Amino acid sequence: MPAPADQPPPPEAPAQPEARVPRWLWALLVLAPLLAYASALQNGFVSDDNPVIRDGRLIGSLRNLPKLFLHDALFNSLHGEALAAGMMVDTYRPLPLATFFVEHALFGLWPLPYPATSVLLHALNVLLLFLVGRRLSLPLPAA
């Protein structure tokens, strides 16, 4: 039988308390990617770091930062030679290149900050993904 119109609706059931995340789990979430990528800190510039960071035609000035969001930003490292030769390099990664710009402005060609930033961003992404899992009400092991 429905409640009369002059009576307030019944109170809602209290929400289930959210399980607290143990401190050791937070520590594990941060330490796992830090330990996994720690060896990158001792490598200096490797692979495409030399042409992109050391020899890149755009990276020397923060005024060029908006140019990274153009599709041919990879040609920053190829000095346009690939474009002139008709090579198709379909690698669009403006955000990593933007971090290189800022690191170059702050630290020049000192190689340590470049992988350190990458490792810290990996750890931050692990935390963000965990928080998304928790927000979706996944149990701790699934989050």
Instruction: Determine the Cα–Cα distance for residues 51 and 47; give it in Å rounded to an integer.
Output: 8
Instruction: Determine the Cα–Cα distance for residues 60 and 89; give it in Å rounded to an integer.
Output: 22
SS3 44: coil
Which pLDDT value is given to residue 85?
61
The pTM of this model reads: 0.71
Please report, to the nearest 10 degrees, the dihedral formed by the alpha carbons of residues 81, 85, 91, 94 taken in order.
40
Per-residue pLDDT of the chain (143 residues; tens, 9 = 90+): 565 667 776 666 544 546 789 999 999 999 999 999 999 999 889 887 887 888 877 788 888 888 778 766 555 555 555 555 655 555 677 888 889 989 999 999 999 999 999 999 999 999 999 999 999 999 988 88
| CB atoms inside a 10 Å sphere around CB 43 | 13
Which pLDDT value is given to residue 78?
53
Sequence-ordered strand ranges (E) for the chain: none
